[in-house]
Structure 1
């Protein structure tokens, strides 16, 4: 899959215009789960891993590919996401615990799209 991406973009660092992500109940995003080896990948664009908690193999974009995007939008909705969002925004930088904290586009736009229920435990901005 990485070869397909490199061929399609025809540049050293492929760059999507927009990547849409969600956040899981454990802080994972893009199939990058807490403590997984793919979190530390700094060269490859795509990583395959077995996710024990899900009992399945996952293929995921890595930080270099996600953070090269022109824009990254993260979508979260529902009261079930309120606690995890409060932890992610409230805790110190711990990306191995909260993989979503690794998302930091280098030159792109980064926006969170939350409904009221998901944002209920966040401090007022």
Structure 2
């Protein structure tokens, strides 16, 4: 499903912005598997063009389920088409908690997928934990911004992101950008988030400037609780109200939904 011309006009999308694509699967498990298969194919295609690939991971139930399905695909030799030694792995946001905390997106991703792959350490780029050498989320954000610059082309502040995965909350937050908070208006590529309305309250997040630099953004959402925010985001909501409405990939923006999350779309069909 794509937005109609009328929906594009209502959303205020200029003609040169790629129309968001919507893919709907019957349930969360089939969605996770479909996204995993698409992700493997997209990273392989990026390697064919660039010699390497880059992905920005998200946490949450559906984000981790996708990684678990990727691990299953890697275990099938005939399906493995990605050279994981040539993949850069980044994160869209992270909880500023100790390294061993179960709340860290990094730890969840390592257990679900990364520990079973041959990705070199220098290609895995976690955000700093709270119990390391970096003492504040602000310093952690500055550190991550510096690492992004290190892997960017000369004169650029951000590396190429082939695919950037995002989850979303029922109120429309994405990464750690929540409705009505300063993060919605922060133009830095990475910043600290304090007093987050969802625990844990202290985090580090990419901002729109970094997120929207990605070639492709894939928004993952499951469950009827997210259906109102999905519908608002796809029909022109203000990012101040629904932050996920503010994401746009430079090449493509894909909304990957289960039937529950798609329930309130104008035309809930794939």
Larger RCO: 1 or 2 (CA < 8 Å, sep 6+)? 1
RMSD (Å) for aligned C-alpha atoms:
1.7
**Map 1:64-103 → 2, pairs under 5 A:** 64-90=209-235, 92-103=236-247
Query: Is the Cα–Cα contact under 8 Å of residues 239 and 245 in structure 2 kept in the other structure?
Result: yes
Distance (whole Å) between structure 2 residues aligned to residue 108 and residue 51 of structure 1: 34
TM-score (norm 1): 0.87
| Larger radius of gyration between Structure 1 and Structure 2 | 2
**Map 1:1-125 → 2, pairs under 5 A:** 1-11=144-154, 12-14=156-158, 15-42=160-187, 44-55=188-199, 56-90=201-235, 92-105=236-249, 107-124=250-267
**Greater share of residues in helix:** 2
TM-score (norm 2): 0.42
**Over 4 Å off, 4+ runs:** none
Distance (whole Å) between structure 1 residues aligned to residue 182 and residue 228 of structure 2: 25
Q: Classify 1:68/1:83 alpha carbon distance in 2 versus 1 (closer, same or farther; 3 Å).
A: same
Q: How many residue pairs are counted as aligned between the two chains?
A: 122
Query: Is the Cα–Cα contact under 8 Å of residues 171 and 226 in structure 2 kept in the other structure?
Result: no
**Greater share of residues in strand:** 1
